Amino acid sequence: MDRPLRVAIDATPLFGIRSGIGRFTEELFAGVSANPAIDSIGYAVTWRGAERLEDLLPPGARPARRRRMAAMPLRWAWARADRPHVELWTGPVDVVHGTNFVVPPTRGAAVVTIHDLTYVRFPQMCTTDVLQYSSLVPRALQRGAVVHTVSDFVRGEVLEHYGLPEERVVTVPNGITAGLPGNPTRGGELVGGPRYLTAIGTVEPRKDLPGLVRAFDQLADEDPDVRLAIAGADGWGAEALSDAVAAARHRERIVRLGWIDETARADLLAGAIALVLPSHYEGFGLTAGEAMAAGVPVVATSVGAIPELVGDAAVLVPPADVDALAAALSGLLRDDDRRALLARLGRARSGTFTWARTVDALAALWRSVVRNAR
């Protein structure tokens, strides 16, 4: 192909507060927009935010036509039929990449990123919007979409659940962003004390933050100075966390910061004794990766892709085991040498996950699916 590869990419995750999927989409656009061999077109399945799309894309990426894309009717149509095609908004494309579980019909080739199978494994932890993936993903697979997964763990789950041939599911791991250099003093000021543990991420049932609060309550009995800082916007189910904090004996040492910007996030990580990720399920675990890149020890549950991500650079405990989590955190608080070792291992481990490698591998995948579609 003499001309640049024309790729339509779902930019919808760039709107609003950036979750892990938003970070993935941001880094993907940043990488491909600088590649002269790729003509990247961003489209957004949103009615109200359509006029903001151009401002959210980096130089070198161009927005789809200003014709609006209404999420609810389009999802309804795409789950039941093979139209309308994305080309109605993007013009002719070689391949379309759905960055967030949903890929529209296209006259070209299609790739869809499946970040996890929470909607299959834990439907009770999902919003109504997320549960729509149960119909949208199979329909896209029937149309021939190739699946990109962010970990081998998710790849195995997709192969098992959907019964696809192995060549139709390709793992390309996320990169890990080192983030801004943080100021530990300012981190302590955010929390109200210099010794603290932190959890960072959207508050939702899958993260099991109420379990973390109960584990903290146990270790706080023996450590009168340690605090717990929970940062992240409220998703659905945040009431369970509020109830757990209200019931905690040491609730005066639990600080909920809500959403924080990148500077405050860097400061919070810089001053933390450890980042805690007590999830029931993770398709990658980007927050743990960012903590490792910052040299912050990680204590996480041994679920999903977390062991694949952290290797030997974190302390792992069983999910939903409050006693085990409390014991692991208490032990780490008392062991300076272990924390220093985990910081070194984490930095080294995180350095093996680069966004440049992710973008290059996805570009190779796009070229492959285009060749195979001919």
3-state secondary structure (DSSP) of residue 284: coil
3-state secondary structure (DSSP) of residue 49: coil
Which are the contacts of 233, defined by CB distance < 8 A and separation ≥ 6? 17, 202, 203, 258, 259
Q: Are the CB atoms for 305 and 118 separated by under 8 Å?
A: no
Q: How many C-beta atoms lie closer than 10 Å to residue 171's C-beta?
A: 17
Write the burial class of residue 50 (CB in 10 Å: 0-12 exposed, 13-18 middle, 19+ buried): buried
Q: Are the CB atoms for 208 and 319 separated by under 8 Å?
A: yes
Question: Which CATH superfamily groups domain 184-350?
Answer: Glycogen Phosphorylase B; (3.40.50.2000)
- pTM of the complete model: 0.94
What CATH architecture does domain 5-175+354-373 belong to?
A: 3-Layer(aba) Sandwich (3.40)
| Residue 66: predicted pLDDT | 67
C-alpha closest to that of 255 among 324, 298, 193: 193
206 secondary structure, DSSP code: G
Residues of the chain with CATH 3.40.50.2000: 5-175+354-373, 184-350
pLDDT tens by residue, the chain, 374 residues: 578 999 999 999 999 877 889 999 999 999 999 999 999 999 999 887 777 888 999 999 999 986 788 889 999 999 999 999 999 999 999 999 999 999 999 999 999 999 999 999 999 999 999 999 999 999 999 999 999 999 999 999 999 999 999 999 999 999 998 878 899 999 999 999 999 999 999 999 999 999 999 999 999 999 999 999 999 999 888 999 999 999 999 999 999 999 999 999 999 999 999 999 999 999 999 999 999 999 999 999 999 999 999 999 999 999 999 999 999 999 999 999 999 999 999 999 999 999 999 999 999 999 999 998 87
| Residue 1: predicted pLDDT | 58
Rounded-to-integer distance, Cα 57 and Cα 294, Å: 27
Which string of b and e fits 266-285 if b means at least 16 CB within 10 Å? Answer: bbbbbbbbbbbbbbbbbbbb
Q: Which two tokens stand for residue 245?
A: 């904090």
| 181: preceding bond cis by omega (within 30 degrees) | no
Write the burial class of residue 318 (CB in 10 Å: 0-12 exposed, 13-18 middle, 19+ buried): exposed
